[in-house]
Structure 1
Amino acid sequence: MTKEEVQGATEEEQQAQSKKALKKQQKEAEKAAKKAEKQAKLAADQQTTEEDDFAKDRYGVSAMVQSQQKLVKSELNLSALSVPETDRALVKVEDLTVEKADQLLWVRARVHTSRAKGKQCFLVLRQQQFNVQALVAVGDRASKQMVKFAANITKESIVDVEAVVRRVEQKIESCSQQDVELHIERIFVISQAEPRLPLQLDDAVRPDGEGEEVRLLPVRGHGKCISAQSTKLQPRQCQLPHHLQVFGIT
C-alpha cells in the first residue's frame, strides 16, 4: 500500500469517526431536550395541581407548637366555647357518642390504621383504649390531594382532625365507638411517626406461630414483624392485650 493510499484510508476513518461523534452528539442533544421538556411538563402539571387544590389550607404537617396554641379539653362542641378561633377545643374519643351527632369538633388521636379506596380514605383514630372510625372523602370540603395526604400518614402518628360526628346505620364492630363515625373536614399531623416502627401493638398480641412462614423472608417489605417472648416480657406491659396496653396517668 502506497503512502497516498494509507493517507486516504486514514482520512476516511477520521471522517467516519467524526460522523459517529456528530450523531452521538445529536442523540445526546435530543435526549437532553426530551428530558427538559418532560421536567417542564411535570412542573407545569404540579403547579396546575397546586392551583386546583382548593383544600390546600385544610391539611398538612403542623409546625412545632411551641405553646402558641391554647388547647381546651371539653365535652362540648367548639361553637359552645368562648375561646378564640385559633384555639382548639379537643374532645376525647371516648366522649364521641350519638348525643354529639351533627356537631363539628376537634379530636386529637393517633392513626391506628388507614385504608384508601377510590376517592375516599378510612382511618381508625385511637386515643388510649378507645378508637373511632373516620372518613375523608372528595367533596366540597376535601380535595383529591387531601385524601391522598390522609392515606399516606404513617401509623401511630398524632393528628388533629376537625370533623362532623355522624350517626351510622350499622354498628362499627371493629371500633369502641360503634354508633358514630367522623367525617373529616381538616386534618393536620402534629407528630409524625417513623414509617416502620420496631414494634406495634398488633405485633405484640399476634399469637405465637403466626407469621412463621415469613420468618425467613427479608424484613423490609415482606411478612409481619415477629415479637419474641423476651420482647413481650420486657417491658411487661407488652404482654397485656392491646386494648389494655394504652393507659393514662392521672
Structure 2
Amino acid sequence: MTEPGPATEGNAPSKNALKKAAKDAEKAKKKEAARQRELAERQKREAEDAADVSANDYGELPLIGSAEFKPTGEKRIKLSEVASYADQTVTLRCWVENARVQSAKLAFLNLRQELETVQAVVAASESLSKQMVKFAGNISTESLLVVTGLVKKTPEPVNSATVKDYEIHIKRVFIEAKAEVPLPLQVEDAERPLPSEATGEEENDEESGHPLVTLNTRLNNRTIDLRAKINNAIFTIKGGVCALFQEFLGSKGFTLIHSPKLLGAPSEGGANVFEVKYFDRQAYLAQSPQFYKQMLIASRFQRVMEIGPVFRAENSNTARHLTEFTGLDLEMEFQEDYHEVMSLLEELMLFIFAGLQTRYGRETELVRSRYHVEPFALPAAGSVPRITFAEGIAMLREAGEELNDYDDLSTPQEKLLGKLVLQKYGSDFYTLDQFPLAIRPFYTMPSAASPKLSNSYDMFMRGQEILSGAQRIHSTRLLQEKMRAFDPPIDPEGAAVKDYVDCFRYGCPPHAGGGFGLERIVCFWLGLPNIRLTSLFPRDPQRVMP
C-alpha cells in the first residue's frame, strides 16, 4: 500500500474551501457563545427564582373547597371602606378591571367591587420582587383576586377610579378565579349606551369613538354584560323599587301574598296565554294574579300585595314588551269610592320616586349619564295630575290627533299625551281616569257617569303606561251579566272562572287595585331605550335563552 506523499500544489485545499471552513468555524464559535450566554441567563434566572423574596406572596390559589380549609384570620374589608383604613394594611376580594406593566419594577391594577374602583400599585423593592411585578401586571382582565396591601393617600386625585384620594400598595396578590381570554364581550363596551335602534348594527360612540355593542350581542353574553357598573346600578334600583313597594304598602296594612302561577284553565278569556304540559293534562301560565287577589278580598283579607312573575303570550317585539315580567300587584277594599284606591296608588308612586332619589341617587345618575336623560319631573305631593280619559282625548285633538271619544290610545298617542301633560302640569307622572268600558276587562265596574265608561284608570311615566287598574265588580249577578255580554262572551260556569264568580256569592266588599310592571317603572325612571335592559335574562317572542 502506497502512503500519500507530502501535499503538493496539485492536491492543496482551494481558497473557497478555506473560506468556507473559516466561516463554519466562526459560526460554531458564535453558536457556542450564544449557548453559553443562554445557559448563563438561565442559571441567573434560576438563581433569581430561587431567591425570589416574594415567592410566597403571589400566584394562583387552589380551587376553594379542593384543599383543606385553613382560616387565615384576616379581616376582609369592602372597597367602599378603604378611606377609613389610611396607612393600614387591608385584605379584600376584588375584580381586575385593568392591569398593566409600567416597567420591570412597576405595575398598576384597577380593582373593583360593585360600583367602587381603586388604583393598586405593585412596586419592586427589597421585599417585593420583579417577578411579582411582572405577574401582577399580566393578570387577565376580570380575574378574581384576593389582595393584601397598604392603604396610602395619593399625592393627587386618581381620575380613573371612584376612590380618588387613596390607593393600595400591594403586598400580596393571589388569583382566586382566573378569567379566560379573550372575553366574548369587553365589560368596558357594556358600560356604553346601546347603538340607535334605527340601524340595529354596531356603531361608534360619538364622544369616545369606542364601539357601541348591540343588544343581541350583550344578551347573548349576559353574564359578562351584567358585570358592567351601569347594569349593577340598574338592578340595584330594580331591587330598590321592590323594597320601597313593600315598605310603603306594609306600613298601610297590606298582607304579602303569593298566588299560583300554574292554572288549570286560561283565566281571562284564553288570549295571550302560554300552555304547558302538566302531568297528563294541559295547564297554563298565569297572566296575572287578578282573580286570586279578588278572591282574597272576598276571604276578608282587606288589603293584599304581591311581587311575582307574569306571563303574556303577546307576539310583541317592541322596546317596552316582554313575555315574562315582574308584576307589582295590589288589591284593597275601599269605604265609599274607588278614588280612595287611586289616591293610595299615587301616594305609593311618589314614595317610590322619593326613595329612588334619596337612597339610589348615585345609581340613578350613573345610568342617566350614559344615556344623557333628563331628570324625571316629579309633581308635588298631593298634586299628581289626574285627568279623565275624555280630557286626554280633548288634549290630543287640540294637538292635531284624530280619534273618537271611545278609541283606545295607541303607543304614539300615549307618548304625545305624556308630553302634553308635562308641558301643562310639569310632571312626568300622571293618572288617566274613567276609561271606556269596552276596552277594559269584563270584571271592571261600569261608571255611574255613563254606561260607556268605567271606574278604571291607568298610570303613566314619561308618557308610557306603568299600571292598569280599576274598581272590580263585586256582585255575582252583575259579573255574570257582564261576562255573557262580553266580546267574545264568557261562560260564568266555565272551569276557568267558576270558582272566581262563586266567591262573590257569599258577600264581598267593594274593592279596587292595579298591577304595575316593575321593569317599566325602572325603564322609564332611568330613561332607558329598551325594557330588556331591566330584565336579567329577558324573555320575548324571539328569546328564551340564556
Aligned match for 1:173, one of 139, 148, 159: 159
Could you tell me which residue of structure 1 aligns to residue 179 of structure 2? 193
1:189 maps to amino acid: I
Pair 1:108 & 2:93 matched: yes
Q: Give distance in 1, aligned partners of 2:167 and 2:175.
A: 20
Give the 3 Å change call, closer, same or farther, for CA 106–18 of structure 1 in structure 2: same
Helix, strand or coil: the match of 1:108?
strand
Assess if the C-alpha contact under 8 Å between 1:168 and 1:179 holds in 2: yes
Task: Tell me the C-alpha RMSD between the 2 structures.
Answer: 3.8
Aligned pairs for 1:124-139 within 5 A: 124-139=110-125
Please report how far the alpha carbon of residue 44 of structure 1 lies from its aligned counterpart in structure 2 after TM superposition: 1.5
Give the 3 Å change call, closer, same or farther, for CA 30–90 of structure 1 in structure 2: same
Could you tell me which residue of structure 2 aligns to residue 60 of structure 1? 59
Could you tell me which residue of structure 2 aligns to residue 210 of structure 1? 204
Greater CA deviation, 15-24 or 133-142?
15-24
Q: Give distance in 1, aligned partners of 2:219 and 2:117.
A: 26
Could you tell me which residue of structure 2 aligns to residue 153 of structure 1? 139
1:145 maps to amino acid: Q
Q: Give distance in 2, aligned partners of 1:204 and 1:148.
A: 28
Q: Give distance in 2, aligned partners of 1:172 and 1:64.
A: 34
Give the 3 Å change call, closer, same or farther, for CA 146–243 of structure 1 in structure 2: same
Please report how far the alpha carbon of residue 93 of structure 1 lies from its aligned counterpart in structure 2 after TM superposition: 1.6
Q: Give distance in 1, aligned partners of 2:38 and 2:222.
A: 54
Give the 3 Å change call, closer, same or farther, for CA 29–92 of structure 1 in structure 2: same
Assess if the C-alpha contact under 8 Å between 1:105 and 1:162 holds in 2: yes
Please report how far the alpha carbon of residue 48 of structure 1 lies from its aligned counterpart in structure 2 after TM superposition: 2.9
Greater CA deviation, 16-25 or 148-157?
16-25
Assess if the C-alpha contact under 8 Å between 1:133 and 1:175 holds in 2: yes
Pair 1:143 & 2:142 matched: no
Q: Give distance in 1, aligned partners of 2:173 and 2:223.
A: 31
Give the 3 Å change call, closer, same or farther, for CA 98–31 of structure 1 in structure 2: closer
Assess if the C-alpha contact under 8 Å between 1:70 and 1:88 holds in 2: no
Greater CA deviation, 147-156 or 47-56?
47-56
Q: Give distance in 1, aligned partners of 2:223 and 2:142.
A: 18
Unaligned runs of 5+ in 2: 1-10, 196-202, 240-546
Please report how far the alpha carbon of residue 100 of structure 1 lies from its aligned counterpart in structure 2 after TM superposition: 1.6
Deviations 1:174-213 (A, max 9, x none): 322233221111111112212321112112234543289x
Please report how far the alpha carbon of residue 103 of structure 1 lies from its aligned counterpart in structure 2 after TM superposition: 2.0
Give the 3 Å change call, closer, same or farther, for CA 30–224 of structure 1 in structure 2: farther
Give the 3 Å change call, closer, same or farther, for CA 26–174 of structure 1 in structure 2: closer
Q: Give distance in 2, aligned partners of 1:185 and 1:200.
A: 29
Give the 3 Å change call, closer, same or farther, for CA 237–192 of structure 1 in structure 2: closer
Could you tell me which residue of structure 1 aligns to residue 169 of structure 2? 183
Q: Give distance in 2, aligned partners of 1:33 and 1:127.
A: 53
2:118 maps to amino acid: V
Could you tell me which residue of structure 1 aligns to residue 213 of structure 2? 227
Give the 3 Å change call, closer, same or farther, for CA 126–46 of structure 1 in structure 2: same
Please report how far the alpha carbon of residue 225 of structure 1 lies from its aligned counterpart in structure 2 after TM superposition: 6.9
1:128 maps to amino acid: E
Could you tell me which residue of structure 2 aligns to residue 45 of structure 1? 44
Give the 3 Å change call, closer, same or farther, for CA 33–228 of structure 1 in structure 2: same
Q: Could you state the TM-score of these two structures normalised by the residue count of structure 1?
A: 0.67
Q: Give distance in 2, aligned partners of 1:210 and 1:224.
A: 5
Helix, strand or coil: the match of 1:142?
coil
Helix, strand or coil: the match of 1:159?
strand
Helix, strand or coil: the match of 1:187?
strand
Could you tell me which residue of structure 1 aligns to residue 343 of structure 2? none
Assess if the C-alpha contact under 8 Å between 1:112 and 1:124 holds in 2: yes
Greater CA deviation, 28-37 or 115-124?
28-37
Assess if the C-alpha contact under 8 Å between 1:135 and 1:184 holds in 2: yes
Q: Give distance in 1, aligned partners of 2:222 and 2:144.
A: 24
Give the 3 Å change call, closer, same or farther, for CA 19–178 of structure 1 in structure 2: closer
Assess if the C-alpha contact under 8 Å between 1:199 and 1:225 holds in 2: no
Give the 3 Å change call, closer, same or farther, for CA 69–98 of structure 1 in structure 2: farther
Q: Give distance in 2, aligned partners of 1:54 and 1:187.
A: 14
Q: Could you state the TM-score of these two structures normalised by the residue count of structure 2?
A: 0.34
- Larger relative contact order (CA 8 Å, sep ≥ 6): 1
Give the 3 Å change call, closer, same or farther, for CA 20–65 of structure 1 in structure 2: farther
Assess if the C-alpha contact under 8 Å between 2:99 and 2:109 holds in 1: yes
Pair 1:91 & 2:77 matched: yes
Aligned residues: 216
Assess if the C-alpha contact under 8 Å between 1:136 and 1:147 holds in 2: yes
Give the share of equivalent positions with the same residue, in percent.
31
Assess if the C-alpha contact under 8 Å between 1:162 and 1:186 holds in 2: yes
Greater CA deviation, 154-163 or 50-59?
50-59
Deviations 1:123-165 (A, max 9, x none): 1111222221111112243222211111111111111111112
